[in-house]
């Protein structure tokens, strides 16, 4: 049984609800970990044998064409350019003119679905259309898809639902469906004017997946996507790395709670984040070196002294040792940003100091774990792997445009 090798991605949306947090661009081009969301969708399709992708584009389509040109990772790309919005149905109808196979896939350009294409097809290849469904709990953003006897039996409007199946935005469609049931009008809604009108007349099936589903249509889920998509695809845990790797840690916001608008001036203000001591104990039992590198601009501003910082660091070390962990060394830069030959991250000075003290450190076998863009740039400047701790709300938007290897909510996620 041969699976369809062609897919349409509906990538013409403006992303009105995202315009406040992303640049003026088509929604599928919103940056997730420094690359377009559309990349993740196409990577998923390619992994399932897709050989030709048709991008149905409209709003700011020039940006998509400029970025991808006519191929992506050796896969042919065609463009169905809407001169005016056609609706989801009109877009599918128009883009299907670029499809040569009788059956093909259609995917929403603002949703990622981890689904088994082969099982989907085997179950539904005889249907005129089949929907990929995802089970969801406690939601009100989506309507509910009703099923009976392995067929779709109806659709409920959006309302708060405790548990139900939703349309994931991935379809297996036949040309016969388009010929027999699509309106003559060039502009129409696929969901409202085809699915909901003809579901009891056409041969319609479904395939349910429990895999990852992410819709970046609203800011909350867009930010959530930053953590769900990572770039170290072959390493599920840093503890799979060999012991020769070095771990560099930022301090405030990673090891201890930040003081918004202030600096930790004494041990009484130093509060460990959840499970940090436990994590550092495990890290130090695995890796040769755990190095702390911390910008402390408060020294340069006259808000704290080097003695204050050293006292706090000594307290931190003693508590970590009590837990059974160890830190090889702590490096601090108290210089003001913009100072000549500044040692502050993202400049590499503190890493170079560490290598002078511990010559076995290899930056290409090192990881920086921090909560700021400067931490990530510090690591990238030295060839390190990067792990971003999401927590500084004021930098959430900027973080979306930084390509990092992992995103975590805190060190506790490492174990």
**Residues assigned a catalytic role:** 250, 252
Beta strands in 243-343 (DSSP E): 246-249, 289-295, 329-333
Contact 290/354 with Cβ under 8 angstroms? no
Is the bond leading into 135 cis (omega within 30 degrees of zero)? no
What is residue 69's three-state secondary structure?
A: coil
Give me 141's structure tokens. 């953003």
The phi, psi pair for 136, rounded to 5°, reads -135, 150
CA dist., res. 201 & res. 120, Å (int)? 21
The residues, ordered by sequence, that sit 6+ positions from 67 with a Cβ below 8 Å of its Cβ are 29, 36
The residues, ordered by sequence, that sit 6+ positions from 363 with a Cβ below 8 Å of its Cβ are 351, 355, 382, 383, 384
Residue 208's closest CA among 260, 141, 131?
131
* DSSP-assigned beta bridge partners for residue 387: 369, 406
The phi, psi pair for 346, rounded to 5°, reads -90, 0
Residue 30's closest CA among 71, 54, 57, 64?
64
Helix (H) or strand (E) holding 170: strand 161-174
CB neighbours of residue 383 within 10 Å: 11
Torsion of CA 392, 397, 400, 404, to 10 degrees: -30
CA dist., res. 246 & res. 363, Å (int)? 8
Beta strands in 86-160 (DSSP E): 103-108, 111-113, 129-139, 144-148, 151-156
């Amino acid at each position: 049984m041969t699976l369809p090798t062609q897919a349409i991605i509906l990538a013409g949306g403006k992303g009105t609800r995202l315009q406040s947090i992303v640049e003026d661009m088509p929604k599928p081009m919103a940056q997730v970990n420094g690359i377009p969301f559309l990349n993740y969708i196409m990577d998923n399709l390619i992994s399932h044998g897709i050989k030709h992708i048709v991008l149905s584009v409209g709003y700011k389509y020039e940006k998509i064409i400029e970025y991808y040109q006519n191929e992506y990772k050796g896969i042919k790309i065609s463009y169905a350019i809407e001169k005016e919005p056609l609706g989801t149905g009109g877009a599918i109808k128009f883009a299907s003119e670029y499809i040569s196979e009788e059956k093909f896939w259609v995917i929403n350009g603002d949703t990622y679905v981890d689904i088994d294409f082969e099982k989907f097809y085997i179950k539904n290849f005889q249907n005129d259309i089949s929907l990929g469904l995802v089970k969801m709990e406690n939601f009100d953003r989506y309507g509910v898809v009703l099923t009976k006897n392995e067929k779709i039996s109806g659709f409920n409007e959006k309302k708060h639902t405790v548990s139900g199946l939703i349309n994931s935005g991935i379809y297996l469609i036949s040309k016969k469906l388009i010929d027999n049931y699509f309106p003559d009008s060039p502009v129409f809604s696929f969901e409202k004017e085809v699915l909901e009108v003809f579901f009891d007349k056409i041969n319609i099936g479904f395939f349910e997946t429990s895999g990852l589903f992410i819709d970046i249509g609203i800011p909350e889920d867009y930010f959530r996507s930053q953590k769900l998509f990572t770039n170290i695809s072959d390493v599920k845990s840093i503890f799979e790395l060999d012991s020769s790797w070095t771990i560099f840690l930022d301090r405030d916001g990673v090891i201890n709670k930040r003081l918004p608008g202030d600096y930790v001036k004494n041990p009484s203000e130093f509060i460990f984040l959840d499970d940090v001591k436990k994590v550092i104990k495990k890290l130090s039992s695995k890796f040769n070196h755990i190095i702390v590198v911390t910008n402390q601009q408060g020294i340069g501003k006259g808000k704290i002294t080097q003695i204050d910082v050293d006292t706090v660091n000594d307290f931190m070390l003693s508590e970590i040792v009590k837990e059974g962990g160890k830190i090889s060394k702590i490096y601090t830069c108290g210089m003001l940003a913009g100072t000549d030959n500044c040692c502050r991250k993202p400049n590499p000075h503190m890493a170079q100091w560490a290598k002078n003290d511990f010559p076995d450190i290899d930056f290409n076998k090192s990881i920086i774990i921090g909560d700021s863009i400067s931490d990530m740039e510090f690591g990238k400047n030295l060839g390190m792997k990067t792990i971003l701790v999401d927590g500084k709300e004021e930098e959430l938007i900027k973080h979306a445009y930084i390509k990092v290897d992992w995103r975590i909510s805190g060190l506790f996620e490492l174990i």
